[in-house]
Structure 1
């Protein structure tokens, strides 16, 4: 089965924006940000392997495996250049894609990305990953935010539909296990090879909430030199819902400069 992606405003003149969601999500959850992008912006919105309509696609596993699957699909689409934006696990995937094909990535926007340090609230991710119904999902997402912000009801319903698919929860548990690592008796996440990003020439923007309960904001300091860092005061991990304006502003600036 091939990866699912929603394509909006395809254009031969403009490099598309590729959006990659986080663990347990679906591409539809980008809606609050997409609504604030420039009209006519070409966008490719993926359901990552093992998620949503890509439930049985190749590439289920950790960020490196997913990066190769997304890149294979980008190659199939024949895109000579594209902008990348990833949230959480999708940020780790986006980073690895940019490292591999930096000459084709016009810009890289990372939203509270995974892999920038070992510390992670794996218990909250487990509860979220096991949730199926909208009220359970809302409760799981509430543990990831620091402000009064909730996903749109339509987004929750679509996410619940995805979670009800046969094998969906098993896939998520497989993915969670693939990026968690036990060190010295405590559970953490695998980390990106950050030293190899030192020479990355791709224009990069990093956004992180100062009250992120999943990935501590201290991990933002591990970004490579030359990246533009924006710390969003009082925001948590779900910046797509908590700070869609700021995420959209960063993406619009990246696309304009790229």
Structure 2
């Protein structure tokens, strides 16, 4: 299964990140579906679509997301993106500004080259081309958890990463490296929550601050003692922050404006 839709209420679309899949949202979907019509799907090359070769542009992924929503007959929606999925979510919010009500940009940034990342994208691509993805993927996923390989969700994260082909891995890094929303953030009209874990080793504070200051109507949430996969290791806090924002009066006002 590479697409799930469950629950009732305003539609909430969840976009996963690099090396993951819709199952990365398992600690969110059950709760969120009591308040929202939750839609999550695998991006090409990942999860249940791992036999496909992943796309090599964020714009292409954004078009895929919008095409999928059109197929499902979804016009207006809340949108949450994690990591590379947050880049895709920014692109969707720019391409379809009249359709996005509430936007959650989580552990992501406007500069796809990921300055300050534990390892440059070029180094990761070179390693993958030379030796395959087994070790470089492990090194990547390890940084997503505060406790590294000791985190109980690390094994599941690696299982998803291991399904990704070498070409999809490289294409994903190329997609990020060739993308940025810098200079376009003021085009995002959705009410936005920027959510950043303070121990993220992929997206530094400068990325988060740029989103927070660059998008017109934005709130900021910083989760302490949390790494890139906050939604897994601190799910209760993460879920409360997202629900509180999406059900806030400011988002409801935007929702009313978009749907009418």
TM range (shorter): 0.7 to 0.9
State the secondary structure of the residue aligned to 1:198. helix
State the secondary structure of the residue aligned to 1:123. coil
TM-score, structure 2 normalization: 0.77
Of the structure 1 ranges 64-73 and 32-41, higher mean CA displacement relative to structure 2 is found in 32-41
Which string of whole-angstrom CA distances, capped at 9 and with x for unpartnered residues, describes residues 123-161 of structure 1? 3874899238xxx96664222233577353783475267
Alpha-carbon distance between aligned partners in 1 of 2:120 and 2:111, rounded to the nearest angstrom:
18
| Counterpart position of 1:130 | 133
> Which one of 197, 204, 210 corresponds to residue 192 of structure 2?
204
Which blocks of at least 5 consecutive residues in structure 2 are unaligned? 253-260
| Paired residues, number | 237
Which string of whole-angstrom CA distances, capped at 9 and with x for unpartnered residues, describes residues 156-187 of structure 1? 47526734xxxx23212222133226xxxxxx
* Cα deviation, residue 71, structure 1: 0.5
Q: Name whichever structure is richer in helix by fraction.
A: 2
Which blocks of at least 5 consecutive residues in structure 1 are unaligned? 182-189
TM-score, structure 1 normalization: 0.78
| Counterpart position of 1:252 | 243
- Asked if the contact 1:59–1:68 (Cα under 8 Å) also holds between the matched residues in 2, the reply is no
> Which one of 243, 247, 257 corresponds to residue 234 of structure 2?
243
Distance 1:114 1:55, change over 3 A: farther
- Asked if the contact 2:2–2:22 (Cα under 8 Å) also holds between the matched residues in 1, the reply is no
* Cα deviation, residue 58, structure 1: 8.3
* Cα deviation, residue 50, structure 1: 1.5
- Asked if the contact 1:53–1:162 (Cα under 8 Å) also holds between the matched residues in 2, the reply is no
Alpha-carbon distance between aligned partners in 1 of 2:240 and 2:3, rounded to the nearest angstrom:
23
| Counterpart position of 1:187 | none
* Cα deviation, residue 24, structure 1: 0.7
- Asked if the contact 2:22–2:41 (Cα under 8 Å) also holds between the matched residues in 1, the reply is yes
